[in-house]
Structure 1
Amino acid sequence: MDIKKNGSRSSTVGSPDYFPGAVRMDPAIEAPEPARIRSVVVTFEPGARTAWHTHPLGQSLIVLSGRGLAQSWDGPV
């Protein structure tokens, strides 16, 4: 078991290549190999967004506050 204290890991700024606008990323889960799970709490300032991208193994989005838009390839917003 690896226990991390709240606030013990630094936030990072989202790369402008992937996140146009002001975005802060806070790590939540970083499992060691061979696990393939990672969880990040991403905070978007008004007007910020994520660039179009894919997740071949899937993705789960959990909205903690606010609201936003999401879309699947060729699907409705």
Structure 2
Amino acid sequence: MELTPVNDTVKAPAAAFTGDVYVTPFKKAEPPSRLVAALVRFTPGARTNWHSHAVGQTLHVTEGVGFVVNRDGKVIRMRAGDTVWTSPGEEHWHGGTNSTCMSHIAMVEGTDDGDGTTWLEPVTDEQYATAHEL
């Protein structure tokens, strides 16, 4: 048994996020485990770029309201207490609504090369607005 002290919260990189997003990592992959986990906080209007995960991703919302959207246009409006799974290789984005903050615990299984995330292009304002209409 081991206590892990609270890690510093850092601003998420602009190369992979739009708006103000803050990340507090709390689990890194330490063999034999490949689990990587962090608390991610999105301010209103903030979101990830399009991305995918080699082994999928689990998001558990801890506060607020937000979206997960995939390339097929499926929109999931998630609220505190909801858990969403994205399949391996499924391109998607997630973030808060335009009027609410949203926090979630993001969990991925890493790969031999890192956390298995492939970052893609930013979500356009039009794509983001469309999620609010559905």
Q: Shorter-chain TM-score: which interval?
A: 0.7 to 0.9
More strand by share: 2
Gaps of 5+ in 2: 76-134
* Paired position in structure 2 for 1:10: 8
Q: 1:65 aligns with which of 54, 63, 77?
A: 63
| TM-score, normalised relative to structure 2 | 0.51
Q: What percentage of residue pairs aligned between the two structures are identical? A: 36
Letter of the 2:45 partner, please give it: G
Q: Distance in 1 between matches of 2:74 and 2:40?
A: 23
Q: Distance in 1 between matches of 2:65 and 2:32?
A: 34
Gaps of 5+ in 1: none
Q: Distance in 2 between matches of 1:10 and 1:43?
A: 13
More helix by share: 2
Offset of 1:39 from its aligned partner? 0.3
Equivalent residues, number: 75
Q: CA RMSD in A?
A: 1.4
Q: Secondary structure at the residue paired with 1:17?
A: coil
Q: Distance in 1 between matches of 2:48 and 2:70?
A: 13
| TM-score, normalised relative to structure 1 | 0.85
Letter of the 1:71 partner, please give it: V
